[in-house]
Amino acid sequence: MYFHKGAPNCKAATRGGAGYIGAEMKGFPEHLSLSLIICLSCFFLLTSAQSRAQDAQNKPAYEAPQAIPNSTPNTDTTAGNAPGNLAQPSGPLADPNYVLGPEDVINIDVFNVPELSKNVRVANDGMISLPLIGRVQAAGLTAEELRKELADKWGENYLQDPQVTVFINEFKAKPVSVIGAVEKPGLYSLTGQRNLIEVLSMAGGFGKKSTSPAGRTVVITRKSGFKDLQPVDGMHVRGPDQIEVDLNRLLYTRDEALNIEIKPLDIISVSKADVVYVSGAVKRPGGFVLEDRPSITVLQAITMAEGFTGSAAKGGARILRTNQDGSRTEIPVNLIKIQKGKAEDITLAANDNLYVPESKGKFVGQQATQTGMSALTGWLIWVH
């Protein structure tokens, strides 16, 4: 019911009589329903907040995933997939069909039996020594074949359904030598089937121009020979155990017949680029690398040396050539006739030295002119 303080207000409130009071009573349920809804909403909000806070206190910061039992042994021998050994040693990716050999280093892991897990090196006789089962033949088997062999031997008398993992840490049984004009010459191990371009990439590619630029050929030497190899264009058989491949054709024609498969113990030798030398009365004497050219002529060499100096004796040039037996040959060259087309432009061989002498008369004249100019300059300075 609605009341007012003070007599005037009470008097005013009584005006209208029962109709006024009835109107006030009619609005009362509406006010009650609104208040009830607000109270219930606040109650549910508070209850929900308390519940979430309680759940947050009871819930751990991190819930470890539950292990799922697996009755089937894990036969994946790649890194990171061994049961119970998530931190496998890193190593080069191997072909699943890679056959183990002497000097290979392998990691053997037995799930839940750390006493049997170890790193072993394959001995020269192809055997490895392991706890309980002693010496086991490893050479000639793949990692998967060795895994099954070890699981059978340990499962005969010692373990029930052993889960064994074999991982190859170091590949040492199939070395290949890469020498010559490559960035990182050395001994590399074949971890699977590899072709010529792949092995050259393993050695860092060809040498840089500033260090040891590559030439035009690569020679592969194989002790067992190339009996089944069919020669193609760009390939030269130098002997029963040696072939030569043209690098330009190998890289730019993409002829698969030139990109041969590399075998263990092969020796790959990348030739160094030929060099010719220009010395004497030229503007830029020095050695010039023949990277993409099979040969170079005398005039081309002079152009690379930026031409003659003013005192060059063009008619008295000569080529200094060192023969294979160490002897030295001098070949006279008349550059005046060659420039006029009256003589053949001679082709230079690798390591030839084109020497252009200075003309004594021109040299003396130039020296006299320089001396006179110096004296005249000094006199003018003294006069002024």
Third-level CATH fold of 175-272: Outer membrane lipoprotein wza fold like (3.10.560)
As a whole number, mean pLDDT of residues 297-303 equals 94
Mean pLDDT of the chain: 78
Confidence (pLDDT) at 243: 96
How many angstroms separate the CA atoms of 89 and 47, rounded?
A: 54
- Long-range contact set of residues 349-352: C-beta below 8 Å, sequence gap at least 24: 349/276, 349/295, 349/321, 350/274, 350/275, 350/276, 350/290, 351/274, 351/275, 351/276, 351/277, 351/321, 351/322, 352/276, 352/277, 352/319, 352/320, 352/321
Reported confidence tier of residue 378, pLDDT bands at 50, 70, 90: low
As a whole number, mean pLDDT of residues 48-67 equals 43
Who wins on pLDDT, 333 or 51?
333
Domain ranges within the chain, ordered by starting residue:
1-28, 77-171, 175-272, 274-362
Lowest mean pLDDT among 53-67, 290-304, 340-354: 53-67
Would you state the structure tokens that stand for residue 341, as one six-digit string?
Answer: 């087309």
Confidence (pLDDT) at 379: 54
Q: Same fold for the domain at 175-272 and the one at 274-362?
A: yes
Nearest Cα neighbor of 304 from 320, 333, 318, 284 is 284
Asked whether the beta carbons of 88 and 74 are under 8 A apart, the reply is: no
Confidence (pLDDT) at 75: 38
Q: Which amino acid is at 247?
A: L
Q: What is the pTM of this model?
A: 0.61
Third-level CATH fold of 274-362: Outer membrane lipoprotein wza fold like (3.10.560)
- CATH code at 77-171: 3.30.1950.10
At residue 174, does pLDDT exceed 80?
Answer: yes
At residue 74, does pLDDT exceed 90?
Answer: no
Strand order across the beta sheet in which 105-110 lies: 118-121, 105-110, 164-170
Q: Which amino acid is at 362?
A: K
How many angstroms separate the CA atoms of 301 and 289, rounded?
A: 11
At residue 339, does pLDDT exceed 50?
Answer: yes
As a whole number, mean pLDDT of residues 227-238 equals 91
Lowest mean pLDDT among 28-32, 186-190, 222-226, 229-233: 28-32
Confidence (pLDDT) at 89: 33
Who wins on pLDDT, 91 or 309?
309
Lowest mean pLDDT among 106-110, 197-201, 215-219, 377-381: 377-381
Confidence (pLDDT) at 238: 92
